[in-house]
Amino acid sequence: MWERIDYKGFEIWVLPILAYGPPTPDTPYHYNGYVCRPGADLRHAGQRTQFYELGNVFETEAKALDAAYHAGRDLVDKLTDNR
């Protein structure tokens, strides 16, 4: 399921993804996510910025979520620094 946090006026949405399935107790994870302003129409690529990690694997869903939120916060920081 997608999870969301608010950060510096942006929404960060993240989704842990099984590296392969079906899930077992030791199945690693990747993540997918995007950053947008509240109320953005996410069907339009110009209103969101996507990020993901499909190369590295994370031991647990929680570690994938932590890494995804960290990447999302870094992206927001870069976006706000460019103003």
8 A C-beta contact, residue 50 and residue 31: no
Average pLDDT over residues 56-80: 96
Q: For residue range 5-47, what is the model confidence (pLDDT) as tens digits?
A: 999 999 999 999 999 888 788 899 999 999 999 989 888 888 9
Band (pLDDT 50/70/90 cuts) for residue 67 is very high
| pLDDT at site 83 | 60
Structural domain count of the chain: 1
Please give the model's pTM, rounded to 2 decimal places.
Answer: 0.88
- Domain ranges, residue 71: 3-81
Average pLDDT over residues 49-76: 96
Of residues 23, 13, 28, the one with CA closest to residue 71: 13
**Enclosing H/E stretch for 3:** strand 3-7
Burial bucket for residue 20 (CB in 10 Å: 0-12, 13-18, 19+): exposed
